Amino acid sequence: MKNEVVIVTGGSNGMGKYMAKKFAQEGARVAITGRNEDKLKEAKKEILKDATGDVHTVVMDVRHLEDVERMVQDVTEHFGQIDHLVNNAAGNFITPAEKLSPNGWNTVIDIVLNGTYYCSQAVGNYWIEKGIKGTILNMVATYAWDAGPGVIHSASAKAGVLAMTRTLAVEWGRRYGIRANAIAPGPIDRTGGADKLWESEEAAKRTIKSVPLERLGEPEEIGELAFFMLSDKAKYMNGEVITLDGGQSLNQYPF
């Protein structure tokens, strides 16, 4: 990954930050995006504690197409190229389906589904124009194909992102050699999901118990997998989704 350029959306905290850190440690040049400039600056500092190289920050909202187009221009101007896109930016909150407001539904769909599409299309068009065989990595969840009780908006959006991943893997893989894959993380410590979905001590304990390995995942473990999936070591992997959840999603029967 030396000198390759990776964009990580939602790169100022959680999994995005740890993926960016791993890529930077492997010699990549990394652009992290997010809505909050201060958080991006903090993340940049933290990444550069453990890595050398150039980390570029872009303040933007994946929900706004004009922001996304500006991001592609900004990153290509700064680094001269883009090799990989990690669609990590997400929004989520726990709510009963029957109580979810139209704006709550639209907000999560807009961030997760539309944002992923806007970024993939904008970066994809750049790759197609330049003849670059880039790589897309999308973050989904096992509830993209299972049930997501309490997160109907996120589950529906992630199911769409999974379909998008597979569609682009075939459509752009065949025509342009662009790969698209996804990771379905389980409960991972020190992430936005951890803050929101199992914020109380009791919920955290319940979550840990639901995992056969009886622990939360570490965001660094997501970074390792993401690095492998973007790298040439995985150059025959296309349209795949890899679950990293300690076996949680398979844990249906008490034993």
CA angle in degrees (0–180, nearest 5) for 46-94-248: 75
**Where in 56-75 is the site for ligand HXC (CB under 6 A)?**
none
Q: Does 9 engage in binding with ligand HXC (CB under 6 A)?
A: no
Of 121, 128, 141, give the one whose Cα is nearest residue 62.
121
Pairing between strand 84-87 and 29-34? unpaired
Work out whether the CA dihedral 151, 153, 158, 160 comes out positive or negative: positive
Q: Does 193 engage in binding with ligand HXC (CB under 6 A)?
A: yes
Q: How far is the CB of 90 from ligand HXC (least distance, A)?
A: 3
How many chain residues interact with ligand HXC (CB under 6 A)?
18
d(C-alpha 189, C-alpha 137), whole Å: 20
Q: How far is the CB of 92 from ligand HXC (least distance, A)?
A: 4
For residue 133, the Cα-to-chain-centroid distance in whole angstroms is 20
Specify which residues 242 forms β-bridges with: 183
Q: What is the number of alpha carbons within 13 Å of residue 12 lying toward its C-beta?
A: 16
Q: How far is the CB of 4 from ligand HXC (least distance, A)?
A: 26
CA angle in degrees (0–180, nearest 5) for 177-186-223: 50
**Looking at beta carbons only, is 95 or 251 nearer to ligand HXC?**
95
Q: How far is the CB of 44 from ligand HXC (least distance, A)?
A: 19
**Where in 114-143 is the site for ligand HXC (CB under 6 A)?**
141
Specify which residues 6 forms β-bridges with: 30, 84
Catalytic residue among 143, 176, 236, 253: 143
String of contacts with ligand HXC for each residue 79-108, x by CB under 6 A: -----------xxxx-x-----x-xx--xx
Catalytic annotation on 18? no
Q: How far is the CB of 139 from ligand HXC (least distance, A)?
A: 8
**Where in 133-192 is the site for ligand HXC (CB under 6 A)?**
141, 154, 186-187, 192
Q: Dump the DSSP string for 94-132.
A: ---GGG--HHHHHHHIIIIIIHHHHHHHHHHHHHHHHT-
Binding interface with ligand HXC (CB under 6 A): 90-93, 95, 101, 103-104, 107-108, 141, 154, 186-187, 192-193, 196-197
* Catalytic sites, residue numbers: 143
